[in-house]
Amino acid sequence: MESTSSFKGARVLVTGATGFIGSGLCRRLLLEGASVYAACRQSSGEVASGVTRISATLEKSKSTHDLVREVLPDYVFHLAGVTSTARDALLLLPTFQTNLVTTVNLLAALVGGICRRVVLAGSFEERRSEADVVSSPYAASKWAASCYGRMCWDLFRVPFVDARIFMVYGPGQRDFKKLIPYTILSLMQGRAPRISSGARQVDWIYVDDVVNGLLALALAPGVEGQSIELGTGRVTAVKVVVDQLTRLINPDLPAVLGGVRDRVHEHVRCADLVRSTQLTGWRPSVALEDGLRRTIDYYLQTSSV
């Protein structure tokens, strides 16, 4: 475990604290001695023991300003949002409201405050150049949010950093439509997973490594206004990952390739790990096969199948 003793005694606000990454981040911050405050909707799940839960509607400016005035955070991790990357017009308004409007409200509430760093959970799906196609409503919302963050740093000195997170996986992922939990649970239930062609190359990153990376981005000096990639710097095809899971769980149930269509405008991207390490000192430590084994063990222990 990397040392992040600078969080001892700090007041830390986490949005999305009941989510996959957020719950792990909260537990880690508590271990570091931080006072952790979770901004939650009324209907959201339970927060970790020791976290102070505060009801807030980040889509509303007043609610967000009230939240910031109550917490007076030293650090903010903004992880809340819609995570579906479907190419679906029905996601246009939800991603705009839940990903972009909440970010702008939070940034506005932090102008002129005491916050040392606000870390936005961005995505490798964000546009990298003018030539890139914006691949989904989710990608558009994340790209726009990071643009607002950089603007708020340049003009108003809100100490923003964009964490471009690659394909995160690991124990506790409750979105069973995501490839790895879907594949594991299908195999455990005796069903052959139905996947795309499996050809897409992906940079897979274990959830604990992402948590360490987020903490490193909060503390690294001189990185305000920048996008920093949290990935492994290596890509592995979807089919290879599914084959590894099949071999480890149920070798008699090979995946059905082509069972679902490949999505349009899928980006093949690999994190610039050298730059991330130079800027923050952070490096991932969990190899893919080890991470897959840990994830399988989690579902074996928690599933009623």
| Upper half-sphere CA count for residue 17 (Cβ side, 13 Å) | 30
* Cβ count near 100 (within 10 Å): 20
**Tokens for 300?**
């074996």
CA distance 120 to 214: 9
Complete domains list, the chain, with CATH = 8-165 (3.40.50.720)
Top pLDDT among 256 and 132 is at 256
**Tokens for 38?**
């979770």
Q: What is the 3-state secondary structure of 81-113?
A: CCCCCCCCHHHHHHHHHHHHHHHHHHHHHHCCC
Sorted by sequence, the CB contacts under 8 Å of residue 97 that are 6+ apart come out as 59
C-alpha triplet 278, 279, 283: angle, nearest 5°: 65
For 250-264, how does the pLDDT look when each residue is reduced to its tens digit (9 = 90+)? 999 999 988 787 777
- Amino acid at site 275: R
C-alpha triplet 85, 86, 92: angle, nearest 5°: 90
Residue 44 DSSP symbol: S
For 203-222, how does the pLDDT look when each residue is reduced to its tens digit (9 = 90+)? 999 999 999 999 999 999 99
- Amino acid at site 224: E
CA distance 233 to 22: 23
Work out the burial of residue 75: count CB atoms within 10 Å of its CB; fewer than 13 is exposed, 13-18 middle, 19 or more buried. Answer: buried
* Cβ count near 299 (within 10 Å): 20
**Model pLDDT, residue 1:** 45
The residues with which 40 forms a beta bridge, in sequence order, are 55
For 63-122, how does the pLDDT look when each residue is reduced to its tens digit (9 = 90+)? 999 999 999 999 999 999 998 888 999 999 999 999 999 999 999 999 999 999 999 999
